[in-house]
Every structure is written in C-alpha cells, then in structure tokens.
Structure 1
C-alpha cells in the first residue's frame, strides 16, 4: 500500500534565499538520489514541492511544503532510518531549518 509523506518546513529568518533553494532542491533530488539497496533503483517518488503561496494565512509559520510517495512501509522505514541522501540532508540542514513537520498517511485509511 502506498504511503504519502507531507513535509512542511520553516526556514530560519536570516537564511539566504539561495540556501533555502539549495535545500529544497536536495529534497526534490530524493527522486533520483535515494536508491534502494536491494533493487538499486530509486524508490522515492517526489510528487512536488515548493514555497508557500497560500492566501488563507493558516501556515503556522511554515514556508515550504513537499509531497513524497513510498510504495510501502519498508521503503519509508529505510528512507527515514538508513538512506544516505536523506540522512545527509537532515544533518546538513539542521542549521537552516527552524521547524519541520511530517505527516505520513495511506490513502483511504481513516
């Protein structure tokens, strides 16, 4: 069963725009840089992401959003716990991200 991840980020106020863009590009690059150790193929589908442009003012400070898809829980678990590209992103962005929220869901499971 597919699992979708919604990743919301709030970059620190004094982070230069080119640094947030580079961090966002690293997330978008998960689609090609996250390689499954068994199949040796990309296993994360990045459905999209970018800077907030909502008119409603309900972002709670979040500035960027991304949607990722995993084919199954095993792939998600590998991504969170072991994938080198994801772990490198998390480590390298600690100084520029003020807040991150993650929501995962399986479609139709309520």
Structure 2
C-alpha cells in the first residue's frame, strides 16, 4: 500500500511544479497571471517586481511607457496623417503574442496642441504602455504587425523620436 501513495505524492509535486513554472514564465504568452495579481507576494510575473507601488514601497512598477513623436512630411496630407494616426491607435488590438493574446496595455495619442512652442517641428505624439520591458522589446523588434506599420509609414514621416521609461526609475 505504501508504494502507490509515494507515486501519487510524486505526481502531485510534479503537477504543482509545472503549474508554478507556467505561472512564473508563461512560455505560451497566455498571461495567466499578471504582475499586479502576484505583486503582493513579491512574485511579479515576467518582471519579478510588484507593480503596485502606491504605498511608497521600494519596489518600482515594471510598466514601460513608450513615447513616439512624429513630424510628418509636408506633402503627407491631412487624410493620410489621420489614417496613419488611427492605424497607430489600432495597434492595441492588432498586436498579439504567438498565443493570439493582446499585450499592449494602452495606446493614446493625437496632434500636438502645446502653446509653448518647444515641439521642434514634431506634430503628433503617441503613448504606448506595456506591462514589461520584454513586451516592449517584442513590440519594437519582432511584432510583425508593428514592423509592417513602421515600413508602411516610412515614406510619410520626416522625423521620429522615441523615448521609453519605467515609471519612477531615475
């Protein structure tokens, strides 16, 4: 009788270990757990940092903010600029992981309307938020939808400026 109990115990340990690895590394991009869900335990999935720093804790959010500034060419035309801008905003739903899950937390953007006059010719701004640097890196370097977007707009953009940051990391 002892023999079957040992095998059951080993099987249970193996199952728990497999589930733990899936939750920690999420190899299929399933986003089973988020860093905010496990942050209180010090187990920020994908980032290894809790994402909630409202209490002034020493952990910083792993969220990456990706700012993109465009100066469109003079001949681009208003309709084309609007189409490119709307397409940019649509990347939130179109950019997906290999498991067909969206990964961009938020995209916002629009035409510059600052009265300060410090734009240096830049006319449009977009802000893209990612849960982690790994998601941002996938978007920037590998995502086929984003790669096609960059290639398609190239003839109409004179200048692109990109700045990324992790909130609170100075």
Per the TM superposition, whether the score is higher than 0.5 is yes
Q: Where in structure 1 are there 5+ consecutive unaligned residues?
A: none
Bigger relative contact order, structure 1 or 2 (CA pairs below 8 A, ≥6 apart): 1
Q: State the match for 2:140 in structure 1.
A: 80
Larger Rg: 2
Q: State the match for 1:11 in structure 2.
A: 72
Q: By how many angstroms is 1:63 displaced?
A: 0.2
Q: State the match for 2:151 in structure 1.
A: 91
Structure 1 runs (4+) greater than 3 angstroms displaced: none
Q: State the match for 2:123 in structure 1.
A: 63
Confirm or deny: 8 A CA contact 2:106 2:130 kept in the other structure.
no
Distance 1:22 1:46 in 2: 19
SS in 1 for 2:96: coil
Counterpart among 151, 163, 166 of residue 103 in structure 1: 163
Q: Structure 2 length as normaliser, TM-score?
A: 0.62
Does residue 27 in structure 1 map to residue 49 in structure 2?
A: no
Q: State the match for 2:63 in structure 1.
A: 2
Q: By how many angstroms is 1:85 displaced?
A: 1.3
Q: By how many angstroms is 1:8 displaced?
A: 0.3
Structure ranking higher in helix proportion: 2
Counterpart among 51, 67, 70 of residue 111 in structure 2: 51
Structure ranking higher in strand proportion: 1
Q: Where in structure 2 are there 5+ consecutive unaligned residues?
A: 1-61
